Amino acid sequence: MGKKGEKSCYVFECVADVREIYRILNDFLYANNFKFVEKNGLKYFMNSDPIAGKRFLEYYFNGNVLYLYAYIHNTKKPWPLDDKYLGSVPKQAYRNMLEPLIAEITRVNENARYNAQYQGYNQNVQYPDTRYDDMQYNHMNSTPYYQPQETMQSGYAGTYQNKFSDINNKSKENQAMWGFYFSVAGMLMSLFGWMWGFFILFIEIYFAIQGLSTRKRIFSILTFLFAAISLVILILYITGIYSIYY
């Protein structure tokens, strides 16, 4: 069983200006369609996906230390991302989403550390590495620092948004191609009486939808076509109208 009531926590000591880290967080949230939610006395950001489900993120600054909480399932019984048993596939998908954010915060911090050392400042200060651990949310005593909603609007373009958007587009292009491969294989198999099933068709359509707004749009359209053919054959096969043995 997973550990109920816990959230995975990434801890960063911000060597860079906290305002710069704040901008990175803001652009990540905007690029990944996280919505600010304030409900039942809680404040958090949420991203909903029809396959992976709901993803939750909270962040707090306590001085120059950033606490980044990430979890899935729900706010009452959160599932940490490093638990191996509950929701392993959605957790891995969320970890993959967070990787660019963690990498960017780490990069900016490392650049700030290098610049400080190069300029001869803070040479005697030792900065700890980023830590990743599980801890009870209520055990922390941090000051919340949330993104103002007025900047989360249509047309907003932050310093880091293009980078995160490019990463998202690349991921969606990959999904479009995988959807296309699945649809071709599924259609060929259906012609010989081997059926993917409705669940795989749903995955194909989901991948195709993801790729419609990318340069791989033509593959998404073909995926819809091949999935429709497979669906028709599947229905005819179930009803007994179609069989390769006739």
The predicted structure's pLDDT at residue 134: 38
Task: Mean pLDDT check: name the lowest of 102-106, 160-164, 170-174.
Answer: 160-164
The predicted structure's pLDDT at residue 47: 93
The predicted structure's pLDDT at residue 29: 93
* Distance separating alpha carbons of residues 246 and 89, to the nearest angstrom: 41
Q: What value does the mean pLDDT take over residues 50-60?
A: 88
The answer to whether the Cα torsion of 43, 49, 54, 56 is positive or negative is negative
CA-wise closest residue to 183 among 219, 220, 223, 232: 223
210 vs 119, residue with greater confidence: 210
Confidence label for 25 from pLDDT (cuts 50, 70 and 90): very high
The predicted structure's pLDDT at residue 197: 60
Long-range contacts formed by 71-76: CB under 8 A, 24+ apart:
71/6, 71/7, 71/8, 75/39, 75/40, 75/42, 75/44
Tracing tokens 């880091």 back to the chain, one arrives at 160
Confidence label for 231 from pLDDT (cuts 50, 70 and 90): confident
φ/ψ region of 206 (left if φ > 0, alpha if ψ in -120 to 50, else beta) reads alpha
63 strand-pairing partners = none
Tell me whether residue 54 is exposed, middle or buried, using C-beta atoms within 10 angstroms of its C-beta: 0 to 12, 13 to 18, 19 or more.
middle
Percentage of residues in the chain with pLDDT exceeding 90? 29
Flag whether pLDDT at 200 surpasses 70: yes
| Whole-prediction pTM | 0.68
Secondary structure (3-state) at 179: helix
